[in-house]
Every structure is written in structure tokens, then in C-alpha cells.
Amino acid sequence: MRKKNDILLKSAFEEAFPDLLRFFFDDADNIFNMGRGFEFMDKELSELFPELEKHGGSRFVDMLVKTFLSSGEEEWILIHIEIEAVAGKNFAKRMFQYYYRILDRFEVEIVALAVFTGQKNQNQAALYQKNFLGTRITYEFNAYGILRHSEKQLLDMNNPFALIVLAAQKALLMGKVPEEELGDQRLTIARALIQSKQYDNEQIRRFLYFLKTFVYIENSEINSKFDQEINLLTGKETTMGIIETIKMLAKEEGIEEGIEKGREEGLEKGKIIFVQNLLTNYDFDVDKIAVLADVSEDFVQKVKNDLKNNR
């Protein structure tokens, strides 16, 4: 579940990126040229750090984003984001290595941000220092632990990205509080998103998929209550999208049940249907779908090819 949730969180960060900037940087709308959009440079990041993939590193949860400033048409910066559960012993050193490799490659301004998603509020790892015989390096970067703000503070921000942070907080409670309580807290996040009126129907649908999958609850009655409440809140305007999402999640739940019970034949069919839904309804890369569905990239590519041939 951890790897799958990492990818879901990264996708949520990407989709809410303008609100992410507003969350972390004061006066973001005046600093950044939001209208020029953003470029997510995963390929460039993996080229700079091939050893991450080679040694099983966290390449799925690193982000490198090109964004433009408001101060000039040709002026742009790179924002490097790390999503980590905990800060390991060499984390600050790795952040420094990211900085100098990116600087050497692109020669542009860099903003570095580490987001810690673990139980402890680990903001202390925001500094790297070396000092030897008069040669000194001090590298500081932005760091944020998801427990820094309380639920009330996050809800009061009126920022959709704050709700992603809140969802990450609630995900830490899975298996530690009753599902009824977790279901109520998940509904609180959904209500806040819809009542903010900052997202259109498609964005709401995608956020609900993230929320239901990221803060996962097995109890079907609790999930049914969630869907009914959402229909009331939206006046059923997004009903079709929600139904599609529920079906997708049902397929995924069926896959997990099949794994537990060893129903190999049903598992294979369920995986095919789940992958088909992801390919049809979401703009995910093949590697992302492979992790979400727990299949190989070749499996996803075969389903993708079959879909094309049947159209």
C-alpha cells in the first residue's frame, strides 16, 4: 500500500500544483506566472539520478517542476520537491546533491522543498553542512511535516492543497481508529472541497478518487454513506463521475479480495478490467498504472493495445 499511496500523493501534488505553490509560498500569485502552466520533469530527474532507480530509490516520489516567474517572460525556476515518510540519516546530503546536479544541468534558480508524510513532524532535516580546514558549505532548504498544521488550521485555509495534506494526515490513522470514525473524517474533507467551490466537476471526481483510494476503508456501508452524502452535497451534478469512480474502486477491491482468497482466474479478469478503467478514465502513464494495479508494464501495454484494436 505504501508505494501505491506514494504515487497517488505525487499525482495529487501535480494536479493541485498551483494551490501547492499558494500553500507554501506567500504571495504566490504575484511571484509565479500561473497562466504559463507547469512542466513536470520526471524524465530529466531520472537522467540526473539514474542510481535511484538502480538501487531501488524513491524516484516515484521525487518531483522536479519547471515554473515561470511573473517578473519576465524568459525567467523561470525549478522547484524540486521531495515526498518522504521520514528523513533518513543522509537525507539532507541527498537534497544538496539534488541541488548541485540540477544547478549544473540547468543553471537556473532552484527552490527545494521536502514534504515529510510520516508520524513525526520532521522539520529538523532542513540543513546540510560541511566544514573542513576553512572550506565551509551550508545548504538550507524548505521542509514541511504534514502534522505541522491542525485539522482546523488546514480547513480554515480555504486551499484545496490543504485538504490533500489533511488526507495525508488521515491516512496515518488507517488501522488505528475505527473505520466509522475514519469515514466521518474522510467525509469532512470531501465536504470542505465541494463547499469551497474552487473545483469543477471533473476535478471533484478526480479528488474523490484520490480520497477514497488514499484513505482506504473496506466497509461497504461506510463507503455507501460517503457516496450518498456526496450526491447530496453536489446536487447529483457529478453523479456519473462518482459512479464511474466507485465502479473502479470496486474492481480494485475485488482484486485485493481475489488475492487473499487465491482466486487466480477471477483475479486476472479483475486486473484487466481495472487497467482498462484506468486507461479509459485517467491520464496516467503506463508505469503508474502498473503500480496501481500491481501488474507489469507489459501487462498494461497489452491491455492498452487490445483496447485500441477493439475500437
pLDDT tens-digit readout, 252-293: 545 554 445 444 555 676 678 778 777 776 667 787 787 777
- Does a structural domain hold residue 52? yes
**228 within domain boundaries:** no
Q: What is residue 241's predicted lDDT score, i.e. its pLDDT?
A: 45
Residue 181 has pLDDT above 70, yes or no: yes
Please provide the average confidence, as pLDDT, over all residues in the chain: 78
Of residues 141 and 311, the one with the higher pLDDT is 141
Query: Is residue 226 situated within a structural domain?
Result: no
Number of domains in the chain: 1
| Residue 95, domain extent | 1-148
Helix 17-24 and helix 160-171: axis angle, to 10°? 90
pLDDT 10s digits, 75-108: 678 888 888 776 677 888 888 998 999 999 998 8
Predicted confidence at residue 3, as pLDDT, reads 57
pTM: 0.70
Higher-pLDDT residue of 4, 142:
142
Quick check: is 87 in a domain?
yes
Q: How far is the C-alpha of 18 from the C-alpha of 7, rounded, in Å?
A: 19
Q: Is 171 a member of any domain?
A: no
- Can you tell me the distance from the alpha carbon of 299 to that of 293, in angstroms, rounded to the nearest whole number? 10
Sorted by sequence, the CB contacts under 8 Å of residue 290 that are 6+ apart come out as 296, 297, 299, 300
Residue 199 gets which letter from DSSP?
S
Asked whether residue 81 is assigned to any structural domain, the reply reads: yes
Within a domain: 70: yes
Give the confidence band of 51 by pLDDT, cuts at 50, 70, 90: low
Q: What is the pLDDT of residue 172?
A: 87
Q: From start to end of 133-240, where are the E strands?
A: 135-140, 142-145
The residue assigned the cell 466507485 is 246
- CB–CB of 13/300 below 8 Å? no
Contact 147, 169 (CB under 8 A): yes
Residue 281 in any domain: the answer is no
Q: pLDDT grade, residue 131 (50/70/90)?
A: very high
